[in-house]
Amino acid sequence: MEDKKMALRTIRIQGDPVLTKKCREITEITPKIKELIDDMLDTMYEANGVGLAGPQVGVLKRIVVIDIGEGPVVMINPVILEKSGEQTGDEGCLSLPGKAGTVTRPNYVKARAFDENMEEYEIEGTELMARAICHELDHLDGHMYTELVEGPLHDVTYDDPEE
């Protein structure tokens, strides 16, 4: 394993204006973007999250990282191509720690994005992956899940990540 210094970025909390802004597309992979990808993954794992979007670390770029337990997925300039079905369940966000709310999302999503090498690919997700893709892509347009919550938010503890 290579000797890479882990770099954590500060996760912006709801109320920070950066979370309400629309992000710009990434046009090329620079060393700075590669570092951002590594830092976002490190930050997401350290915070026990399943996804993280650029604006959550103060970067207004169309980039998200997701890992629902099947390995990391990097999505640059992602676009949802198809969505279908419906699922309703608890959703939380690293930018609103300790809270969750009931949100209805598509149960199936197909998206197109670029990977860390700017290779275009398509990804399909169901259940948690579909939820994560929709949630993270909302951040890129300045939206948070709290806009979609049905009923009040509730407190959560993360003692058992396998909930």
Residue 16: both structure tokens together:
């920070």
Q: For residue 96, give the nearest of 150, 35, 6, 15 by alpha carbon.
A: 15
Has 136 been annotated as catalytic?
yes
| 104-121 b/e (C-beta count within 10 Å ≥ 16 → b) | ebbbbbbbebbebeeeee
CA distance 145 to 150: 10
Residue 17 in 3-state DSSP? Answer: helix
Catalytic residue among 25, 35, 91, 136: 136
Q: Which residues are catalytic?
A: 136
